Amino acid sequence: MFKRKDLKYDFNALEPFIDYATMDEHYNAHYKKYMENLNEAIVEDGVENLTIEGIIKRVISIGSKKLRNNAGGFYNHQLYFDNISPNNNAYENAGADLKALIEKDFGSFQQFKANFRSAGLDVFGSGWVWLVLIGDKLKIVKTKNQDNPLMSCNCKILLGMDVWEHAYYLKHKADRKSYIDDFFKVIDWKIVSERV
Ligand code: MN3
C-alpha cells in the first residue's frame, strides 16, 4: 500500500505565496484521495508488487484509466510538494550542473523562466508543466490531467508545477499567472538540482 510522504514544512511555511488553506486542502484532500484511489486501483489491476515508478512507466500499456490517473496523481504530488519549500528559493542556490544546463539550453535563467511560465499559461484545463532532462538536454513539457512525463519518455524529472485550479484557486482565484509567479518564489533549487 502506498502512503503519502510527510510534508517537510508546515502548511503556512510558503506564505504569502502559497497559503495555508491551499496547502491543507491540496495535501490532505487531493493528494490523499489520489493515494486512496491508487491503493484500490493496484489491487483491481493486480500490480501490488510494482513500485510507483514501475507503475508509472508501464501504466499506459498495462493499466486502467483509474490506475493511470491516480498513480500519476500520487507520484506528481510527491514531486510537487518536494520541489517547493521555504528553503533555497533563490536561483543562486541551484547547483553548478543545473545552472550550466539551463544556460546551454535556454540561454539564461530569465529565458527559462519565461518559457516555463508561458507553458503554464498554455495548459488548457487541468495539467502540469515539467522541466525534464532527456539525455543531456533540458526540455519543458506539458501533460494533461495527472499524466507524468515518465509515462511516455525515458527522462529525468527535475521540476514539476501543478496548474490544476485546486493548486491555486483559493488564493489566486482564476489568476494562474500570479500563481505561477508565486510558484517561482517557493521553488527549492537545491532539491531540483539534486534530481539532475
Ligand atoms: Mn494538485
Residue 11 amino acid letter: F
Pick the closest to residue 148 from 166, 161, 137 (CA basis): 161
Residue 133's pLDDT band, with cuts at 50, 70 and 90, is very high
- Report the distance separating Cα 158 and Cα 136, nearest Å: 13
Cell of 106: 535556454
Overall pTM surpassing 0.75 (yes/no): yes
User: What value does the mean pLDDT of the chain take?
Assistant: 98
From ligand 1's centre to the CA of 36, what distance in Å? 15
Residue 115's pLDDT band, with cuts at 50, 70 and 90, is very high
Q: Which domains does the chain have, with CATH numbers?
A: 20-83 (1.10.287.990), 91-194 (3.55.40.20)
Cβ-in-10-Å burial (0-12, 13-18, 19+) of 173 comes to exposed
**CB of 91 closer than 8 Å to CB of 186:** no
Of all residues in the chain, the percent with pLDDT exceeding 70 is 100
From ligand 1's centre to the CA of 56, what distance in Å? 17
Cβ neighbours of residue 145 closer than 8 Å, sequence gap 6 or more: 69, 72, 126, 127
Residue 71 has a pLDDT of 98
From ligand 1's centre to the CA of 196, what distance in Å? 23
Q: What is the mean pLDDT of residues 74-88?
A: 98
End-to-end CA distance of the chain: 28
From ligand 1's centre to the CA of 112, what distance in Å? 23
- Report the distance separating Cα 140 and Cα 36, nearest Å: 30
Count the residues in the chain. 196
From ligand 1's centre to the CA of 25, what distance in Å? 9
Residue 81 has a pLDDT of 98
Residue 13 has a pLDDT of 98
From ligand 1's centre to the CA of 100, what distance in Å? 30
From ligand 1's centre to the CA of 166, what distance in Å? 6
From ligand 1's centre to the CA of 162, what distance in Å? 6
> pLDDT tens digit string along 19-46?
999 999 999 999 999 999 999 999 999 9
Cβ neighbours of residue 122 closer than 8 Å, sequence gap 6 or more: 142
- Report the distance separating Cα 28 and Cα 97, nearest Å: 35
